């Protein structure tokens, strides 16, 4: 059943909020080393899927298989520890830290030297810190944020904060990167840069699951598309196939317009 080409499998996930079925029997796969897009109209349950995946709240039914193992019910911190890193719909950079420091926090789960050796200024921990900073600067350079490295992260414009969050997630060397509307609040230039960045990430062998409203971005970069409507998966497949799927058109445009067309 478990296909090694799938890095993540959602199996019949159901979550009810006070009688409302936020997700209903949602199943889909995320292929390794590919970009999968999760799309759907507002309120379709996309963010709920993210929260169920990372166990921000527990699912009522169903299972999540990540790297061949069930991760249902393990705390968000441990999910991240396995290499499933997510971002948030509204950019959540850490206030009180500079841009550079925000990126460094991303590396947290991979830091080898403990607080104890940092306390004692050991050679190893200092070396690791220096290496970390270089890597973080290189990452910031990649997205054109390095000139802002010492400013307060919340002083960045919205687009910069979204980009910073992606970079921070990348710093933690994810196996699967889950992005919740990364292009929201970005202008066209920034969106184009984001597309290039995401393709580079895929080329580096990291799988991406992206929730996005920007259709041109999705059609441009996604290898697979999963369409969610009213808490259920209504279509899944390659962009070209999904684009002409009648159910998808109906969900986005409504029945009347579809009939008129």
Partner 1 sequence: MAEFIQISIGGLLVGTIYALIALGFSLIYRVTGMINLAQGGFAILGALVGYSFSQSLGLPLPIALVGAVLVTTAAGTLLGALTFVPGLKKLSNANVLMLTVGMLTLIEGFLLVIWGSQPYSVPAYTGEEPINFHGILIPTQTFWIVGTAVAIILCLWLLLAHTTLGRALRACAENSGAAMLMGINVRRMTIFSFALATMIAAIAGVVVAPTTTFQFDTGRLFTISGFIAVVIGGIASFPGAIVGGLMLGLVTQLATAYVSSLFSNAIALIILLFILIYAPTGLIPSRIVRRQDVREEPRAWGHITRLSPTVAWSAAALALCGMLLLPLLVTGTIISSLTIAAIIFIALIGLDLLMGYTGQVSLGQAGFMAIGGYTAGYLTINYSVEPLIGIVAGVLISLICALVLSIVTLRLRGLYLALATLAFGLLIDSCAVGFIDITGGPSGMVGIPPFSVGSLYFDTPLSMYYLVIGVNVVVIFLLFGALRSNFGRALQSIRTDQMAASALGINIVRYKLVAFVASAGLASLSGSLLAFSFNFLSPDMVGTNRSLELVSMLVIGGEGTLVGPAFGSILITLLPTIFQPLALYKTMFSGGLLIICFLYLPRGIYGLIAALLSRISPRTDGNTERSEGLVQGASR
Give the footprint of partner 1 on this chain (CB under 8 A): 54, 56, 75-78, 80-81, 85-88, 92, 94-98, 101, 104-109, 111, 113, 115, 118-121, 125, 129, 132, 134-135, 137-142, 146-147, 150, 152, 154, 168-169, 172
Cβ of residue 93: shortest distance to partner 1, in angstroms? 8
Q: How far apart are the first and last CA of the chain?
A: 41
**Smallest gap, in angstroms, from Cβ of residue 24 to partner 1?**
25
Say how far apart CA 247 and CA 229 lie, in whole Å. 10
Minimum CB separation of residue 146 from partner 1 in Å reads 5
Instruction: Count Cβ atoms below 10 Å from residue 127 Cβ, excluding itself.
Output: 11
DSSP state of 9: E
Q: How far is the CB of 13 from partner 1 (least distance, A)?
A: 19
Q: Of the two residues 12 and 147, which places its CB atom closer to partner 1 in the complex?
A: 147
Shorter beta-carbon distance to partner 1: residue 68 or 127: 127
Q: Residue 23 or 125: which CB sits closer to partner 1?
A: 125
Q: Which of 150/187 has CB closer to partner 1?
A: 150
CB contact at 8 A, 162 and 185? yes
Rounded distance between C-alpha atoms, residue 222 and residue 84, angstroms: 19
The minimum distance between CB 109 and partner 1, in angstroms, equals: 3
Q: Which two tokens stand for residue 3?
A: 């296909």
Q: How far is the CB of 41 from partner 1 (least distance, A)?
A: 25
Strand partners, 225: 37, 237
Convert 70-136 into a string of H (helix), E (strand) and C (coil).
ECCCCCHHHHHHCCEEECCCCCCCCCCCEHHHHHHHHCHHHCCCCHHHHHCCCHHHHHHHHHHHHHH
Please give the structure tokens belonging to residue 124: 């190893």
Nearer to partner 1, 81 or 239 (CB): 81
If the CB atoms of residues 94 and 252 are measured against partner 1, the closer one turns out to be 94
């Amino acid at each position: 059943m478990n296909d090694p080409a799938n890095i993540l499998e959602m199996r019949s996930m159901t979550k009810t909020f006070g009688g409302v079925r936020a997700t209903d029997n949602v199943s889909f796969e995320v292929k390794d080393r590919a970009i999968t897009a999760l799309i759907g109209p507002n309120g379709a349950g996309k963010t709920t899927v993210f929260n169920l995946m990372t166990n921000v709240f527990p699912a009522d039914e169903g299972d999540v298989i990540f790297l061949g193992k069930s991760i249902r019910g393990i705390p968000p911190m441990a999910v991240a520890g396995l290499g499933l890193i997510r971002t948030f719909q509204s950019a959540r950079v850490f206030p009180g830290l500079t841009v550079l420091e925000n990126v460094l926090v991303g590396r947290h789960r991979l830091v080898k030297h403990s607080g104890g050796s940092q306390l004692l200024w050991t050679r190893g921990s200092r070396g690791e810190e220096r290496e970390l900073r270089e890597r973080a600067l290189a990452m910031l350079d990649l997205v054109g944020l390095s000139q802002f490295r010492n400013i307060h992260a919340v002083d960045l414009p919205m687009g910069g904060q979204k980009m910073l969050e992606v970079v921070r997630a990348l710093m933690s060397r994810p196996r699967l990167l889950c992005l919740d509307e990364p292009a929201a609040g970005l202008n066209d230039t920034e969106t184009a840069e984001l597309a290039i960045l995401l393709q580079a990430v895929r080329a580096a062998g990291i799988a991406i699951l992206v929730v996005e409203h920007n259709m041109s971005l999705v059609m441009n970069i996604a290898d697979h598309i999963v369409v969610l409507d009213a808490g259920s998966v209504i279509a899944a497949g390659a962009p070209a196939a999904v684009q002409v799927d009648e159910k998808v058109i109906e969900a986005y445009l409504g029945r009347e317009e579809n009939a008129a067309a």
